[in-house]
Amino acid sequence: MNITDQINKRKTFGIISHPDAGKTTLTEKLLLFGGAIKEAGAVKSSKIDRHATSDFMEIEKQRGISVATSVMGFEYNGKKINLLDTPGHQDFAEDTYRTLTAVDSVILVVDCVKGVEIQTEKLMEVCRMRNTPVMVFINKLDREGRDPYDLLDEIEEKLNIKVRPMSWPIGMGKSFKGVYSLYSESLILFKGSQTKLTGDTVEIKNLEDPRLEKEIGELPTAQLQEDVELISGGYDPFDRETYLSGEVAPVFFGSAVNNFGVKELLDCFIDIAPQPRARQTELKTIEPSEKDFSGFVFKIHANMDPKHRNRIAFLRVCSGKFERTHPYKHQRMNKNLKFSNATAFMAQDKEIIDEAWPGDIVGLFDTGNLKIGDTLGVKDIGNFKGIPSFSPEIFKEVINKDAMKTKQLDKGLKQLMDEGVAQLFTFEMGARRVVGTVGALQFEVIQHRLKHEYNATCDFVGTSLYKACWISSKDKKKLNEFIDSKYRHIAQDKDGKWVFMAETKSWLQMVMDNYPDIEFHFTSEF
Ligand code: G4P
């Protein structure tokens, strides 16, 4: 198989949802269809129990388990599918944002009872930044949920994306009879079974077909006919290009736990989801079909074995063929590295691989050379763009508790930040260090890991910070003047970029108004 065939064969995607909407269940069902697992229940262990929020040791344990299921590769209908798991726990949202940089498309799960929830909105904002193509699966149709039209309106409104129904539910909850697939023009009857892999399918190209009434009854038939007419009048016909450009999201209805509607989703996904596409580095556009290998690190998982400080870096292949033991240039360090035990992820197994292709995720064992966002390649290509840091939500100052262990603390903090556990901001004034996170849990994780892995102890003291804003200006002089005049509020991030640390929303607004030549950004990439 040549490189074009390999690229055409691959679909790399992530499933996102608000916790409890059914992401884990859908993942599992997709793996069942792909034959990658044999029984339900196998993926549950990857889920971090959000009820155990105070028990971070338990979460660390679960995170350890979840590494095995963070990338699941399987074959379906001649395609190689790479499914990237995203932690549902909101305290690990930053992890999820980064994982989304490594996928080519996304399936969003929405609970039909709850509709669009807050975490869904945040995750979709990240997808919108990169125009990632999105398919929507409205789940739990076996429950009395909201009106399907309302749900679609809410998705369009809150998620700022147009929708196109690809299937339509017939009833809901107790009266749920199945879905009509507008994509394959067939009726799929709901027989409520968690063991059977799919519902009974009746091919009905014409909704006037008398078999329809026989299958679902008179009233539901009339309702379906009306709905389908309304849909064709109210929504533009499905157009793959608008899906690929991230403007329109095709929508499916189903019930993951009952294996219902999942096959229709997967069959359509196989047809329409994008294969690996070109990506941009600081210097150039890289097509996946380029001969030379390139890829970037989007996730690092440490603590695989507490006795050895080994970490596994997740690398997304962007172009060419990755070959084990071939030396590749680490762009940031300008140095060649070789990875003799690179692994691939197939469902729950990890295995040493000799080669990988664009779209694949490779696990690289690392002793501390790699950090998130690092690019590997054959020649000088610069770093891949599109792996930004976002302004954290919670900021705490680091206080060293043992002056004799300053070196250990510095090293530990640096390595944990390289892994993306949190973000470190070092103030210009007094070398004050502030750690920023999305969730409160990370502070406990950091303290615990500093103590056990680096033998360092620190306290975290609350600050009154509101946002970290990366700053830039077309006028270098004006930027320097701003930094000088606000030096008490200026810090550097882990890469030495200038950041303005705002204390309140209103004050930030005032500063923005007073300094029109300075641009304030809520992400590190602009
Ligand atoms: P998440 O990963 O998005 O957090 O959600 P997960 O798949 O774990 O699903 C959350 C709950 O919703 C689970 O119930 C799951 O069984 C249920 N669920 C998933 N799909 C459907 C569906 O189509 N219909 C209905 N009625 N329920 C669904 P749980 O009680 O929290 O867990 P469990 O005891 O079933 O494992």
Mean pLDDT, residues 120-131: 88
- Residue 325 burial (10 A CB sphere; 0-12, 13-18, 19+): exposed
Taking all residues of the chain, what is their mean pLDDT, rounded to a whole number?
A: 87
Q: Is 86 in the pocket of ligand 1 (CB under 6 A)?
A: no
pLDDT band at 216 (very low <50, low <70, confident <90, very high): confident
pLDDT tens for 290-338 read 999 999 999 888 765 655 667 889 999 999 999 988 999 999 999 999 8
Tell me what pLDDT residue 169 has: 94
Residue of minimum CA distance from atom 30 in ligand 1: 20
Residue 69 has pLDDT above 70, yes or no: no
Residue 147 has pLDDT above 50, yes or no: yes
pLDDT tens for 148-188 read 999 999 999 999 999 999 999 999 998 888 999 998 888 88
Mean pLDDT, residues 211-218: 86
**Centroid of ligand 1 to alpha carbon of 20 (angstroms):** 6
Q: Is 21 in the pocket of ligand 1 (CB under 6 A)?
A: yes
pLDDT tens for 253-286 read 999 998 889 989 999 999 999 999 999 999 999 9
Partnered with residue 397 across adjacent β-strands are 434, 461
Task: Give the span between the Cα atoms of 209 and 229, in whole angstroms.
Answer: 15
Common-topology check for domains 3-272 and 279-377 = yes
Q: Is 257 in the pocket of ligand 1 (CB under 6 A)?
A: yes
Tell me what pLDDT residue 433 has: 95
Tell me what pLDDT residue 51 has: 46
Query: Of residues 71 and 505, which shows the higher confidence score?
Result: 505
Q: Is 90 in the pocket of ligand 1 (CB under 6 A)?
A: no
Tell me what pLDDT residue 354 has: 85
**Centroid of ligand 1 to alpha carbon of 109 (angstroms):** 12
Contact 14, 99 (CB under 8 A): yes
Tell me what pLDDT residue 39 has: 64
pLDDT band at 58 (very low <50, low <70, confident <90, very high): low
Helix or strand holding residue 252 (H, E): strand 248-253
**Centroid of ligand 1 to alpha carbon of 251 (angstroms):** 20
Residue 52 has pLDDT above 80, yes or no: no
| Mutate which of 15, 18, 20, 96 for ligand 1 pocket (most atoms within 8 A of beta carbon) | 20
Tell me what pLDDT residue 48 has: 46
Contact 327, 292 (CB under 8 A): no
* CATH classification code of 279-377: 3.40.50.300
Q: Is 88 in the pocket of ligand 1 (CB under 6 A)?
A: yes
Task: Report the range of poorest mean pLDDT among 29-38, 103-112, 242-251, 468-477.
Answer: 29-38
- Domain edges within the chain: 3-272, 279-377, 394-521
**Centroid of ligand 1 to alpha carbon of 114 (angstroms):** 13
Residue 347 has pLDDT above 60, yes or no: no
Tell me what pLDDT residue 3 has: 94
Residue located via tokens 């302004």? 391
* CATH classification code of 394-521: 3.30.70.3280
Residue of minimum CA distance from atom 16 in ligand 1: 257
Atom of ligand 1 nearest to the CA of 255: 23
Q: b/e for 426-441, b at 16 or more Cβ within 10 A? A: bbbeeebbbbbbbbeb
Task: Report the range of poorest mean pLDDT among 11-25, 61-75, 351-365, 414-428.
Answer: 61-75
- Residue 400 burial (10 A CB sphere; 0-12, 13-18, 19+): middle
pLDDT tens for 86-124 read 876 666 778 888 899 999 999 999 999 999 998 888 889
Q: Is 412 in the pocket of ligand 1 (CB under 6 A)?
A: no
First to last CA, the chain: 39
Residue 54 has pLDDT above 50, yes or no: no
Task: Give the span between the Cα atoms of 34 and 11, in whole angstroms.
Answer: 13
Report the topology of domain 3-272: Rossmann fold (3.40.50)
pLDDT band at 408 (very low <50, low <70, confident <90, very high): very high
Task: Give the span between the Cα atoms of 210 and 226, in whole angstroms.
Answer: 16
pLDDT tens for 190-206 read 875 555 556 667 777 78
